[in-house]
C-alpha cells in the first residue's frame, strides 16, 4: 500500500467513525421520542460503519473476545461475540461451533467427524448413541444463546433446528425490539452501554423436538 492510499484509508475510516457516532446519537434520540424498534434497527447501521463502536456493541449485548488460538496471528485484533459464545470458547476446554454437531470441545472434533460420540465418560459409535437417545430421557441437548433444544431425532437435526430458532430470534429482535423489551428496558440498555456486562443471564427457552407424533401427547 502506498503512502497516499494509507492516508485515504485513514480519512475514510475517520469519516465512517464520525458517521457512526452521528447515527448512534440519532438512535438514542429516536428511543427517547418513543420509537424503540427504529432506535434498535439503527444500531446495525452503526456497527456496519464502525465495527468497533463499543457502545453499539454493548447495546447488542456483545463483548470483546480474543481467541487464544489466534494469538500469533498478526492480522487478528479480537472480535465481538455474545456472552454465551465467549463463555463457550473460553476456559481450559474451549468449544467450537461445528456446523453439523453444534457446540463441541475443540479437542473432540476429529472424534465426532469419525463417527464417535461421548457417553458417560467413554466413547461409543454414533449408531449406538442413536439407539440410546431414542429414549427421550437420554435426549440430545443442543445449547445456544437463547434456546436449549432437546431431541431424540438426531444431533444433526437438533442443531439445524437450533440454528433456525436463533436466526428467527435475531430477526424478531432486529425488527420488533419493542416486543422483547419495554421502552424503559431498552432505554436502560442504551444507558448501560459501555459498562461491564452483568453476570446475570436469562434462562434459555427449552424446546422439545420429538421423533414421533405420539410423543407430543
For helices 36-49 and 3-32, give the axis angle rounded to 10 degrees.
170
Identify the pLDDT of residue 43.
Answer: 94
Identify the pLDDT of residue 217.
Answer: 84
Global pTM reads: 0.84
152 or 71, which is more confident? 152
103 or 201, which is more confident? 103
pLDDT digits 0-9 by tens, 9-40: 999 999 999 999 999 999 999 988 888 888 88
What number is the average pLDDT over the span 100-129? 98
What gap in Å lies between CA 169 and CA 148, rounded to an integer?
Answer: 13
Identify the band that residue 197 occupies on the pLDDT scale cut at 50, 70 and 90. Answer: low
Is the pLDDT assigned to residue 214 strictly greater than 80? yes
What number is the average pLDDT over the span 154-177? 93
Is the pLDDT assigned to residue 199 strictly greater than 70? no
pLDDT digits 0-9 by tens, 47-106: 999 999 999 999 999 999 999 889 899 999 999 999 999 999 999 999 999 999 999 999
Kindly report which listed range (76-85, 106-115, 183-192) carries the lowest average pLDDT score.
Answer: 183-192
Identify the pLDDT of residue 114.
Answer: 98
Amino acid at each position: 500500500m502506498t503512502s497516499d492510499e494509507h492516508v485515504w484509508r485513514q480519512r475514510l475510516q475517520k469519516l465512517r467513525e464520525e458517521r457512526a457516532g452521528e447515527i448512534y446519537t440519532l438512535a438514542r434520540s429516536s428511543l427517547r421520542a418513543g420509537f424503540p424498534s427504529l432506535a434498535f434497527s439503527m444500531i446495525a447501521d452503526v456497527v456496519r460503519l464502525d465495527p468497533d463502536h463499543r457502545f453499539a456493541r454493548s447495546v447488542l449485548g456483545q463483548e470483546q473476545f480474543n481467541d487464544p488460538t489466534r494469538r500469533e496471528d498478526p492480522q487478528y485484533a479480537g472480535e465481538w461475540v455474545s456472552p454465551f459464545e465467549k463463555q463457550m470458547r473460553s476456559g481450559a476446554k474451549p468449544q467450537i461451533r461445528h456446523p453439523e454437531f453444534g457446540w463441541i470441545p475443540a479437542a473432540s472434533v476429529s472424534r465426532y467427524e469419525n463417527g464417535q460420540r461421548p457417553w458417560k465418560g467413554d466413547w461409543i459409535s454414533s449408531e449406538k448413541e442413536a439407539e440410546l437417545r431414542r429414549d427421550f430421557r437420554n435426549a440430545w441437548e443442543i445449547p445456544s444463546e437463547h434456546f436449549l433444544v432437546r431431541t431424540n431425532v438426531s444431533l444433526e437435526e437438533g442443531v439445524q433446528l437450533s440454528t433456525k430458532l436463533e436466526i428467527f430470534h435475531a430477526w424478531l429482535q432486529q425488527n420488533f425490539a419493542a416486543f422483547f423489551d419495554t421502552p424503559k428496558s431498552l432505554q436502560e440498555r442504551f444507558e448501560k452501554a459501555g459498562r461491564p456486562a452483568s453476570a446475570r443471564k436469562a434462562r434459555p427457552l427449552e424446546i422439545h423436538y420429538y421423533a414421533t407424533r405420539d410423543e407430543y401427547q
